[in-house]
A and B are shown apart, each in its own frame.
Chain A
């Protein structure tokens, strides 16, 4: 059974720093790896999706990497801003359960201090 872990559970950094969020998964046979952002009182917003054949994806100041062999993904945020404060979740659909079956980590709550 796929298990997804995100460490740390919470992270607080000063504005302007570059930072890395970590996601690990136990079953490397995945369709893709997805990163979401959740703001308080809101739903999840998709940030990046890395297909299993890819190594990384970039969107603006965000870069996500995928290493299936080690069961790890990282989300790199460059030049962090207070508006980046949110909870970040990763999710991976294992191949045995279908491409839409997302298994989520518990998230990293990120605070960017002005």
Chain B
């Protein structure tokens, strides 16, 4: 089954304790992206990757890191989490074409930073 898998689905942690949210897709997609979803602000892009070893900042990259060492994986790293990073996070992937393709989303990771 074609899917984007995020782990963990839920996490409660404390300020300053490094954490990683994993994202894996099995569709051989070149493009992968991280979003955060907040009430009143909607979905905002954090980072994206056009292919292995190619990453770039989205609209709200502060406080986050990513890496793309393999095509299928795109982990999101919070090196020193803070309460304002409490949010619902989504990973997405799609093939890259000149006209755009539907993006496939994971089920989300709800992070609470105390």
Q: Is the interface of A mostly helix, strand, loop or mixed?
A: loop
Query: Could you pull out 26 A-B pairs where Cβ atoms are within 8 angstroms?
Result: A31-B100, A32-B99, A41-B107, A42-B108, A43-B4, A43-B90, A43-B92, A43-B106, A43-B108, A49-B102, A51-B99, A51-B100, A52-B99, A89-B43, A99-B97, A99-B98, A99-B99, A99-B100, A99-B101, A100-B33, A100-B50, A101-B45, A101-B48, A102-B45, A102-B103, A104-B43
Residues of B within 8 A of A28 (CB): none
Q: What is the interface residue range for chain B against chain A?
A: 20 to 34
> Is A44 on the interface with B (CB-CB < 8 A)?
yes
Which residue of B has the minimal Cβ distance to A1?
B59
Q: B50, B100, B106: which has the most chain A beta carbons within 10 Å? A: B100
The one of B31, B42, B90 that contacts A107, using a Cβ cutoff of 8 Å: B42
Chain B residues near A (Cβ < 8 Å): 4, 31, 33, 40-43, 45, 48, 50, 90, 92, 94, 96-108
Residues of A within 8 A of B107 (CB): 41-43
The one of A45, A99, A100 that contacts B105, using a Cβ cutoff of 8 Å: A45
Which residue of A has the minimal Cβ distance to B91?
A43
